[in-house]
């Protein structure tokens, strides 16, 4: 099976690195972006299967990035990652087309479950 | 000889008869003259006396009504302009002037006086009055203690004229700081009420007090001296009845030595402001003597005529007697007898002819009261063409049925030998009613036995008519006053209108009456009252002022309108005429001082021309009285409303309002003050010095600041000590009250309870602290969460690495658990930091549940938890903090999720419940987990209580829920369900209004 491409977007490099390791262990191909603009350009080039998008970032925010990604590809699968459980923000993200939102610190088991569900069901 | 004797006997008998007749006639005439004169004089005098009492009564009522009217107007004006009681001295003059202009025409001068009665200001301005002391000073103390206008007086010393003063105390709070005094000239009122009311042409009335001191007199001079010369205050010594007059109303006959005639004096007491006055009405003798003299003259002429007749008869008798002597001498007794008989017959015929020719109705009745003879004058009087059928008929039958018994009674008295007379009506042959004064006298024979009854009658119809008219006009006058008085008495508009429609139609001969009052805003007349049973139809009546109707017409023209034949009267609106069953009507405009009040309509539902007999003046006066009464009532309603409003304002104020008077005594203590301090007002009113201040120095400080500044202090923070000794922080704003002299007259303070504000401030500070902490925590936690993510992911990866040694794996798992614990702590800290007072707005409970559920939906699905949503369709809007309620729901859902680690069913339901009259929205979150152990039930909502394995919960979640729900005045509880699992029930109170958008 062709490995799935996951784009991890987070301004904190350690988080990106750790997520890369975690996802690569699971057999995914991982791309990293450290801000919104980078994420959008990377997405248009690589067309990843899934995006893990941090909400709080300097420059372009997670929500704005989400909007652009969705404009680029309405089928894009995005999981929002937030530090704070902010229901309004989460709801807005869902409305914009995010598939799921998870809070930091990321629960690895839940993240794995969510990605698998999305990748097996969402693109079936 | 025997013939002669027989003749003589015969002659004696005839002579005796003539003599008896003549003697009786003279007696009768004299008696008639005497008795009827006496009777008439008494009856005329009595009549005048009755009228006098009616008129004085009316005048007194009028004067009182006017004084009350002015008093009411004054209260209204005073209430309208707050400056009149204000402290701003520059405003006084304008305020006084304003009130004076309103009362112009009634009031001579307006004064502002202080509590000692010293005049501080007058309008219109009069410099010389300032500083003087008002004459009613002695009465002021009582007046100042009573709110409202008090009528005092009359007094004389200030303006050289007798005055009545109306005094309204000016209060600052409860302490009187002076008064507004309106002065009315007794003369003005007297001119208005006393001068126009007359009994006869020359009658006059004046006012005196109980000592006989004249207060007001319409005559410019008395006893040859002008009133100025003898001084208006002269004792009117002629009347020692002043005291008597004060004690009781009545009328007396006063016999003056000089004229010898009767002068009638009527008294009526007026109680004006505690000063007893006596109204004296004098009807001079010339006015009474006139009618009496006229009667006497007519009676005298009649008597003279009768005497002439008798003298003639007597002369004839004497003549015949001489002849009889001659015949006797001739001793031709048969011849003489016959001749004499002829003579006597002739003489009888002549006297009969004379009687026949008499202008007076003379009748001869037998002892069974049958008519034997009636003079020609009598026949003419009664229009009898043939008298013969009446002869032998019972005499009383001539009179109208109701009077026959009385006539018979008098005839029986006459038969018993008494002289008697009466006045009674009789009908002539053409059916006209006439009044007759009739005298009866018996005629006796030589043995003293009554043989005949002679009756004389005089036609008094004209006099009777005049009397009746007089009586009627007096009655009308009396009714008018009594109507006015009754109407004035009731100060309730509904009662007054009720009286008008119920009682007054009869005065004017109407079957019913309608009252319409002007609605100035809509420019129409509104039906407000009608005589039963017409009210039901009339109560919707609205007549536009520009509509063609008689009601609108009389109001615009200000004159009464009488319609004899309403159904064809072009001036009337025929639609209304038919609707309100008006056959004939009179429309009266109700006017008071150029103000349209309304229209009074008297109607007759059958008779046409029912009001044609009423003259315009009577109608106008009647309408005037009614209008005054209605205006009075409306005025009192307004005054009452204004005063109630001010009282309520002070009483209902949230602030504690306390005022002291000049001497520092507590004079006002409102409900707010009672609630703040715990004292009842009767415990502190009248107490001296600061009662509430916890520190006396603060009280002094407040006074010092006010005196050094502009007389006020605002926003002074101090502490009160309540009755139970507790200390209350307050914020005081206070003012010194100054009187006209610039002297301190008291002080008033408004205190706000700062505890309420302090509490709110504390809560605010608390929430701000929390917010700051929240901002800090949020910032910090974000920083923590990223490294934590790294740690957790790293641990997870290492633990799951097949190369990792199992022992290390186990150690790393322990680290992982602790990292998860940090996660939980940070999450709860974040919530606590964000805790704040609920920001309530209307929220849709169902909507929040759905939104919150959507946050967890995927997770629940992943964990094989089925969701059963049972939301009630019609749920009212709840006033709550959206975020906090969402937090509660989220916590409960998370709890339920954690209770079912192996999946299960989550039931979420809402419904409306009602307990103790309150409505709630109830949310139930039910799981199919293991339920709650009974021993844990009680601690369930305690902070830091948790049954979750270490690292899985902080024990704050349910405690947070409870805190939030209780802050919303709701409740939360937990129960186990019989089928297993637990249910959490949240109840929130419902706003008493519909959902938005409905």
Q: Across residues B423-445, what is the average pLDDT?
A: 78
Residue B955 pLDDT: 62
Strands A78-82 and A100-103: parallel
Q: Across residues A67-74, what is the average pLDDT?
A: 92
Q: Output the average pLDDT for chain A.
A: 86
Chain A residues near residue B859 by CB distance under 8 angstroms: 110
Q: Which residue of B has its CA nearest to A115?
A: B862
Q: Output phi, psi for B253, to 5 deg.
A: -95, 130
How far, in whole angstroms, is CA B533 from its chain's centroid? 24
pLDDT digits (tens, 9 = 90+) for B747-786: 888 888 887 766 666 666 665 666 666 667 766 776 788 8
Burial of B392 (0-12, 13-18, 19+ CB in 10 A): exposed
Under DSSP, the state recorded for B992 is: S
E strand or H helix that includes residue B227: helix B227-230
Highest mean pLDDT pick, B274-288, B832-846, B897-911 = B897-911
Is the Cβ pair A91, B862 closer than 8 Å?
A: no
Is the Cβ pair A25, B781 closer than 8 Å?
A: no
Give the one of B787, B830, B862 whose C-beta lies nearest to A84's C-beta. B830
pLDDT digits (tens, 9 = 90+) for A107-118: 888 888 888 877
pLDDT digits (tens, 9 = 90+) for B253-290: 665 544 445 566 666 767 666 666 777 777 777 777 77
Is the Cβ pair A22, B781 closer than 8 Å?
A: no
Q: List the strands of the sheet with B524-530, edge to edge.
A: B542-544, B524-530, B512-519, B595-604, B584-592, B561-563
Is residue A69 within 8 A of residue A96, CB to CB? The reply is no
Please tell me the distance in Å from A14's CA to the nearest CA on chain B: 7
Confidence of residue B235 (pLDDT cuts 50, 70, 90): very low
Residue B918 has pLDDT above 90, yes or no: no
Q: Output the average pLDDT for chain B.
A: 75
Distance in angstroms (rounded) separating the CA atoms of residues B812 and B359: 156
Residue A79 pLDDT: 92
Is the Cβ pair A19, B793 closer than 8 Å?
A: yes
Highest mean pLDDT pick, B158-167, B385-394, B623-632 = B385-394
Q: List the strands of the sheet with B727-738, edge to edge.
A: B666-669, B656-661, B744-753, B727-738, B712-721
Distance in angstroms (rounded) separating the CA atoms of residues B319 and B431: 44
Determine which of A26, A56, A104 to mutate to test the interface with B (most B C-beta atoms within 10 Å): A104
Encoding tokens for residue B34?
Answer: 């005497």
Q: Shortest CA distance to B918 belongs to which of B992, B973, B843, B993?
A: B992
Is residue B110 within 8 A of residue B96, CB to CB? The reply is yes
Residue B490 has pLDDT above 60, yes or no: no
Distance in angstroms (rounded) separating the CA atoms of residues B438 and B39: 13
Q: Across residues B494-498, what is the average pLDDT?
A: 77
Is the Cβ pair B782, A56 closer than 8 Å?
A: yes
Highest mean pLDDT pick, B172-176, B341-345, B933-937 = B933-937
Structure-token match 């699968």, residue found: A77
DSSP state letters, A5-70: EEEEE-S-HHHHHHHHHHHHHTT-EEEEESSHHHHHHHHHHH--SEEEEES--SSS-HHHHHHHHH
Confidence of residue B318 (pLDDT cuts 50, 70, 90): low
Q: Which residue of B has its CA nearest to A105?
A: B789
Encoding tokens for residue B362?
Answer: 């003379």
Is residue B597 within 8 A of residue B631, CB to CB? The reply is yes
Give the one of B796, B819, B890 whose C-beta lies nearest to A22's C-beta. B796
Is residue B367 within 8 A of residue B443, CB to CB? The reply is no
Residue B86 pLDDT: 57
Is the Cβ pair B792, A56 closer than 8 Å?
A: no
Distance in angstroms (rounded) separating the CA atoms of residues B10 and B20: 15
Residue B247: C-alpha distances to residues B210, B236, B244, B671, B977 (Å) = 9, 18, 5, 46, 92
pLDDT digits (tens, 9 = 90+) for B123-140: 888 777 777 777 777 777
Of chain B, the percentage scoring pLDDT greater than 90 comes to 3
Higher pLDDT, B411 or B274: B411
Q: Across residues B462-491, what is the average pLDDT?
A: 55
Residue B314 pLDDT: 67
User: For the CA atoms of B27, B33, B35, B37, what is the dihedral angle to 10 degrees?
Assistant: -170
Residue B78: C-alpha distances to residues B48, B171, B173, B646 (Å) = 45, 12, 16, 13
Confidence of residue B386 (pLDDT cuts 50, 70, 90): confident
Residue B85 pLDDT: 61
E strand or H helix that includes residue B21: helix B2-80
Is residue B533 within 8 A of residue B512, CB to CB? The reply is no
Higher pLDDT, B518 or B142: B518
Is the Cβ pair B789, A114 closer than 8 Å?
A: no
Distance in angstroms (rounded) separating the CA atoms of residues A87 and B882: 11
Give the one of B789, B801, B830 whose C-beta lies nearest to A15's C-beta. B789
pLDDT digits (tens, 9 = 90+) for B662-708: 888 888 888 888 888 888 888 888 887 777 888 888 888 888 888 88
Least confident range from B167-171, B426-430, B499-503, B636-640: namely B636-640
Determine which of A19, A89, A105, A122 to mutate to test the interface with B (most B C-beta atoms within 10 Å): A105
Q: Dihedral sign, CA of B305, B307, B308, B310?
A: positive
Confidence of residue B992 (pLDDT cuts 50, 70, 90): low
DSSP state letters, A75-109: T--EEEEESS--HHHHHHHHHHT-SEEEESSP-HH
Confidence of residue B353 (pLDDT cuts 50, 70, 90): low
E strand or H helix that includes residue B365: strand B361-365
Is residue B951 within 8 A of residue B821, CB to CB? The reply is yes
Summary count for chain A: helices (H), strands (E): 5, 5
Chain B residues near residue A22 by CB distance under 8 angstroms: 793, 796-797
Residue A9 pLDDT: 94
pLDDT digits (tens, 9 = 90+) for A75-90: 889 999 887 666 677 7
Higher pLDDT, A99 or B29: A99
Residue B349 pLDDT: 60
Residue B158 pLDDT: 40
Is residue B369 within 8 A of residue B395, CB to CB? The reply is yes
Residue A31 has pLDDT above 90, yes or no: yes
Confidence of residue B112 (pLDDT cuts 50, 70, 90): confident
Residue A87 pLDDT: 65
Instruction: Give the HSE-up count for residue B874: Cα atoms under 13 Å, Cβ half-sphere.
Output: 3
Is residue A28 within 8 A of residue A48, CB to CB? The reply is no
Higher pLDDT, B145 or B12: B145
Higher pLDDT, B662 or B996: B662
Q: Output phi, psi for B282, to 5 deg.
A: -115, 125
How far, in whole angstroms, is CA B389 from its chain's centroid? 67
Is the Cβ pair A87, B794 closer than 8 Å?
A: no
Distance in angstroms (rounded) separating the CA atoms of residues B734 and B726: 23
Residue B642 pLDDT: 67
Is residue B31 within 8 A of residue B419, CB to CB? The reply is yes
Confidence of residue A67 (pLDDT cuts 50, 70, 90): very high
Structure-token match 């209770």, residue found: B899
Higher pLDDT, B22 or B611: B611
Give the one of A87, A108, A113 whose C-beta lies nearest to B862's C-beta. A113
Of chain B, the percentage scoring pLDDT greater than 70 comes to 71
Is the Cβ pair B793, A100 closer than 8 Å?
A: no
Distance in angstroms (rounded) separating the CA atoms of residues B644 and B273: 25
Residue B374 has pLDDT above 70, yes or no: yes
Residue B639 pLDDT: 67
Encoding tokens for residue B816?
Answer: 């992982």
Residue A123 has pLDDT above 50, yes or no: no
pLDDT digits (tens, 9 = 90+) for B389-399: 888 888 888 77
Residue B165 pLDDT: 74
Asked, as a colleague might, if the bond just before B533 is cis with ω within 30 of 0, I would say: yes
Collapsed DSSP state (helix, strand, coil) of residue B527: strand
ipTM confidence: 0.87
Is residue B172 within 8 A of residue B650, CB to CB? The reply is no
Residue B162: C-alpha distances to residues B150, B166, B193 (Å) = 17, 13, 16
Higher pLDDT, B657 or B149: B657
Encoding tokens for residue B770?
Answer: 């929390």
Residue A36 pLDDT: 92
Please tell me the distance in Å from B823's CA to the nearest CA on chain A: 7
Residue B990 has pLDDT above 60, yes or no: yes
């Amino acid at each position: 099976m062709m490995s799935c491409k996951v784009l991890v977007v987070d301004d904190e490099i350690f988080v990106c690195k750790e997520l890369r390791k975690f996802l690569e262990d699971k057999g995914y191909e991982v791309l990293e972006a450290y801000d919104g603009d980078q994420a959008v350009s990377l997405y248009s080039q690589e067309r990843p299967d899934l995006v893990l998008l941090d909400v709080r970032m300097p420059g372009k925010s997670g929500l704005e990035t989400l909007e652009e990604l969705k404009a680029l590809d309405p089928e894009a699968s995005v999981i929002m990652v937030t530090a704070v459980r902010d229901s309004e923000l989460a709801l807005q993200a869902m409305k914009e087309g995010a598939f799921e939102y998870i809070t930091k610190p990321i629960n690895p088991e839940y993240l794995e479950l969510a990605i698998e569900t999305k990748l097996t069901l969402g693109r079936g | 000889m025997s013939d002669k004797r027989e003749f003589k006997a015969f002659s004696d008998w005839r002579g005796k008869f003539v003599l008896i007749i003549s003697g009786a006639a003279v007696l009768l005439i004299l008696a008639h003259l005497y008795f009827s004169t006496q009777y008439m004089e008494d009856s005329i005098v009595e009549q005048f006396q009755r009228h006098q009492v009616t008129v004085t009564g009316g005048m007194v009522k009028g004067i009182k009504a006017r004084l009350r009217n002015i008093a009411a107007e004054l209260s209204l004006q005073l209430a309208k302009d707050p400056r009149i009681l204000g402290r701003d001295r520059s405003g006084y003059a304008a305020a006084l002037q304003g009130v004076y202009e309103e009362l112009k025409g009634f009031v001579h001068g307006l004064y502002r006086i202080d509590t000692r009665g010293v005049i501080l200001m007058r309008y219109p301005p009069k410099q010389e009055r300032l500083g003087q002391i008002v004459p009613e000073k002695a009465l002021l103390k009582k007046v100042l203690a009573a709110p409202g206008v008090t009528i005092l007086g009359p007094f004389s010393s200030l303006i050289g004229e007798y005055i009545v003063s109306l005094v309204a105390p000016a209060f600052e709070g409860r302490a009187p700081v002076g008064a507004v005094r309106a002065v009315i000239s007794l003369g003005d009122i007297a001119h208005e009420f006393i001068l126009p009311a007359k009994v006869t042409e020359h009658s006059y009335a004046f006012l005196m007090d109980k000592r006989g001191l004249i207060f007001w007199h319409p005559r410019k001079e008395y006893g040859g001296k002008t009133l100025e010369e003898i001084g208006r205050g002269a004792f009117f010594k002629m009347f020692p009845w002043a005291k008597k007059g004060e004690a009781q109303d009545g009328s007396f006959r006063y016999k003056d030595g000089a004229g010898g005639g009767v002068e009638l004096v009527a008294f009526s007491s007026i109680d004006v402001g505690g000063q007893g006055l006596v109204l004296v009405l004098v009807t001079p003798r010339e006015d009474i003597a006139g009618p009496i003299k006229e009667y006497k003259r007519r009676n005298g002429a009649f008597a003279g005529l009768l005497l002439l007749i008798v003298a003639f008869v007597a002369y004839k008798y004497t003549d015949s007697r001489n002849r009889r002597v001659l015949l006797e001498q001739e001793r031709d007794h048969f011849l003489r007898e016959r001749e004499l008989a002829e003579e006597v017959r002739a003489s009888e015929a002549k006297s009969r002819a004379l009687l026949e020719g008499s202008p007076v109705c003379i009748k001869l009745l037998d002892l069974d009261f049958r008519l034997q003879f009636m003079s020609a004058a009598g026949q003419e009087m009664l229009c009898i063409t043939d008298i013969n059928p009446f002869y032998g008929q019972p005499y009383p039958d001539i009179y109208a049925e109701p009077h026959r018994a009385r006539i018979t009674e008098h005839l029986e008295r006459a038969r018993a030998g008494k002289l008697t007379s009466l006045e009674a009506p009789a009908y002539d042959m053409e059916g006209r009613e006439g009044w007759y004064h009739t005298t009866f006298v018996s005629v006796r024979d030589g043995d003293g036995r009554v043989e005949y009854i002679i009756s004389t009658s005089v036609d008094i119809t004209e006099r009777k008519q005049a009397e009746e008219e007089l009586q009627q006009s007096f009655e009308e006058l009396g009714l008018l006053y009594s109507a006015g008085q009754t109407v004035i008495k009731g100060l309730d508009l509904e009662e007054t209108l009720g009286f008008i429609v119920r009682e007054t139609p009869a005065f004017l001969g109407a079957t019913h009456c309608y009252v319409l009052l002007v609605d100035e805003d809509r420019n129409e007349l509104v039906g407000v009252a009608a005589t039963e049973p017409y009210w039901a139809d009339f109560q919707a009546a609205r007549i536009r002022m520009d509509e063609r109707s008689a009601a609108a017409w009389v109001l615009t023209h200000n004159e009464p309108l009488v319609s004899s034949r309403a159904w064809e009267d072009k001036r009337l609106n025929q639609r209304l005429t038919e609707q309100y069953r008006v056959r004939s009507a009179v429309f009266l405009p109700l006017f008071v001082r150029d103000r349209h009040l309304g229209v009074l309509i008297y109607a007759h539902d059958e008779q046409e021309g029912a009001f044609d007999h009423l003259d315009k003046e009577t109608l106008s006066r009647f309408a005037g009285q009614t209008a005054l009464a209605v205006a009075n009532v409306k005025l009192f309603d307004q005054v009452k409303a204004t005063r109630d409003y001010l009282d309520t304002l002070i009483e209902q104020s949230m602030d504690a309002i306390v005022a002291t008077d000049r001497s520092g005594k507590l004079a006002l203590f409102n409900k707010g003050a009672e609630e703040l301090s715990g004292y009842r007002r009767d415990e502190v009113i009248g107490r001296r010095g600061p009662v509430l201040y916890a520190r006396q120095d603060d009280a002094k400080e407040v006074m010092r600041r006010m005196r050094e500044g502009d007389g006020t202090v605002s926003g002074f923070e101090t502490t009160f000590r309540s009755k139970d000794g507790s200390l209350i922080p307050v914020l005081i704003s206070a003012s010194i009250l100054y009187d006209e002299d610039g002297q301190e007259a008291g002080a008033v303070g408004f205190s706000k309870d700062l505890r309420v504000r302090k509490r709110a401030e504390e809560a605010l500070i608390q929430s701000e602290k929390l917010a700051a902490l929240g901002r800090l925590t949020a910032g910090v936690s974000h920083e923590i969460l990223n490294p934590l993510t790294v740690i957790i992911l790293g641990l997870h990866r290492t633990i799951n690495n097949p190369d990792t040694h199992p022992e290390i794996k186990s150690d790393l798992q322990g680290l992982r658990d602790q990292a998860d614990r940090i996660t939980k702590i940070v999450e709860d800290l974040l919530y606590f930091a964000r805790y704040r007072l609920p920001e309530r707005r209307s929220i849709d409970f169902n909507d929040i549940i759905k939104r919150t559920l959507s946050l967890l939906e995927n997770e629940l699905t992943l964990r094989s938890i089925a969701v059963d949503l049972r939301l009630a369709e019609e749920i009212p809007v709840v006033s709550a903090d959206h975020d906090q309620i969402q937090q509660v729901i989220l916590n409960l859902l998370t709890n339920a999720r954690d209770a079912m680690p192996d999946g299960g069913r989550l039931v979420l339901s809402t419904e409306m419940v009602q307990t103790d009259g309150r409505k709630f929205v109830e949310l139930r979150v039910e799981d199919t987990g293991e339920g709650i152990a009974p021993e844990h039930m009680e601690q369930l909502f305690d902070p830091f209580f948790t049954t979750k394995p270490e690292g899985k919960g902080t024990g704050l979640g349910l405690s947070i829920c409870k805190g939030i729900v209780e802050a919303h005045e709701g409740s939360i509880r937990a129960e186990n369900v019989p089928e297993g699992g637990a249910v959490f029930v949240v109840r929130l109170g419902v706003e008493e209004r519909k959902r938005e958008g409905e």
